[in-house]
Chains A and B, each alone.
Chain A
């Protein structure tokens, strides 16, 4: 991801981003809005001074997040407005950007006091519909299935929630889906720009040339995807404290918060969003196809 010699302005997750390297996954920003985030190449030291927490690959301190991906890059996120990338010698640009759009941007959204959820989202006539759940529950696959039906995609992997006064909104993220070959074969918007998300992993980067949401959308419902081993779909409404607990669990990399941000403020945001959010739990039989699940969900959210 070498600097291109000029500053380029993009938009992602509702933010105007100034970058010294090309970010082909993003759309260029056409207006004159001032940049909110600057992404630049530069040296990033190993270890974070004043470390207050972290995990196997990351460290945090107040307002700072450091991710160290061996052989790929070190990333430093500062005060919700700056990302410095120190790419490893010979690292491929796809790998560098894959982690940038994942954990690194998740940390940035946390630092900015946002509420990033681990979810995909689509725009429907009723409002934004989010699909959330553990790994391989079909979040991205459902977004792809609905994209093939003409719905616009709002987000995949990370969906930033804007707690607007009139109700929470889902903010358009990055115009792409990350899909596995079996889903691309069925529903993927194929095109010449579909490529492996990274060498030696099975996931593909599928750019959304069309069908990407242009503006935030009030949230109509969040679906928690659960796979069951029965033959019938099960659907139920999640409410009360259970809804708060589930939403807390859906926050993208909530572990980053401790030692980096004000955790009590974060929980206040979660509580505020949970209060008015409609949450449904979908138990999907493993034996049912993606098409059948999309049919079932469409009936439910359009009701």
Chain B
């Protein structure tokens, strides 16, 4: 099976945790895979784009980069004998000139990881070092994304709103998507990760899956980051792996903040079991 298998999610929804599981499952080593040695790199890594195109992305306009990204993914798929796993936080969108950002002809499928937006807001606020209310507002905005005047090592990406992001991936019909909930990765790890491994075409015998789950536990990832750092941590965050706890919103969010998120995302939250709230 060759082509790209996307590990897609809104930011701070468990994407890196899932990638850690995948890396450990694929390598099945006696010890945890180094978090700075993941093969499933971000799809918007500038170096990958530059290597594939042969030109410096900082010499290109935003429109040229957007136009070229699907060609880059096709090139990567065509030149890889095996399935390529790429992390992506972009929403599944159509480009201004037509055609999707994610080329279906280069895609094997996608694992879409969804997390309760009430917890995402808190995690995102810590991650980017911005006030919670600001992140709640950006999660509700269709214009949400990351672009910088002075480029960093990643290309700009577009999230849309949290709800739009989820629906853009899970409701597209171009390729198969396996949806997993962050909360299920915590509460029912064996079943959740085994099903995902099967979807990805990876080995899913119980011992191997259990080992990969153990080697990608929050404690292991957090310990690795503490000891050697994590290259994907932004300067704005004290640590990438912060708490990893589902339901933290109950202790952190004010009733009005909860109301704002539910008002913006209630329909999608209900669809994925985040509403009505469970009473702990």
Interface residues of A (CB under 8 A from B): 54-58, 67, 69-70, 98-99, 102-103, 134-137, 157, 180-182, 197-203, 227-230, 253, 255-256, 286-287
A200 to B51, CA, bound (A): 22
User: With A136-B153, A202-B149 given, is the CB distance from A57 to B53 under 8 Å?
Assistant: yes
- Considering residues B50, B55, B60, B229, which has the most beta carbons from chain A within 10 angstroms of its beta carbon? B55
Interface residues of B (CB under 8 A from A): 46-47, 50-64, 68, 71-72, 75, 149-153, 229, 233-235, 237
Given contacts A103-B54, A136-B152, 19 further A-B contacts (CB under 8 A): A55-B52, A55-B53, A56-B53, A56-B54, A57-B53, A99-B59, A136-B46, A136-B153, A157-B56, A197-B59, A198-B59, A200-B63, A202-B149, A202-B150, A203-B59, A227-B235, A253-B54, A255-B54, A256-B54
Point out the residue from A102, A180, A286, A287 that lies within 8 Å of B55, measured CB to CB: A102
B150 with A201: CB separation less than 8 A? no
Please classify the interface of chain A as helix (H, G, I), strand (E, B), loop, or mixed, using the class held by over half of its residues.
loop
A99 with B55: CB separation less than 8 A? yes
- Chain B residues in 8 Å Cβ range of A135: 46-47, 50, 57-58, 151-153
Point out the residue from B58, B68, B150, B234 that lies within 8 Å of A182, measured CB to CB: B150
Total CB contacts across the A-B interface at under 8 A = 86
A227 to B230, CA, bound (A): 11
- Chain B residues in 8 Å Cβ range of A203: 58-59
Tell me how far the C-beta of B150 lies from the nearest C-beta in chain A, rounded to whole angstroms: 5
A103 to B149, CA, bound (A): 23
Point out the residue from B56, B62, B235 that lies within 8 Å of A103, measured CB to CB: B56
- Chain A residues in 8 Å Cβ range of B68: 56-57
Tell me how far the C-beta of B275 lies from the nearest C-beta in chain A, rounded to whole angstroms: 36
A180 with B54: CB separation less than 8 A? no
A178 to B237, CA, bound (A): 30
User: With A55-B75, A203-B58, A287-B235 given, is the CB distance from A228 to B229 under 8 Å?
Assistant: yes
B54 with A229: CB separation less than 8 A? no
A229 with B233: CB separation less than 8 A? yes
A203 to B59, CA, bound (A): 8
28 A-B contact pairs sorted by A residue (CB < 8 Å)? A55-B51, A56-B54, A56-B68, A56-B72, A57-B55, A57-B68, A67-B54, A98-B59, A99-B55, A103-B56, A134-B153, A135-B47, A135-B58, A136-B46, A181-B150, A200-B62, A201-B60, A201-B61, A202-B150, A203-B58, A229-B233, A229-B237, A253-B51, A253-B54, A255-B51, A255-B54, A256-B54, A286-B235
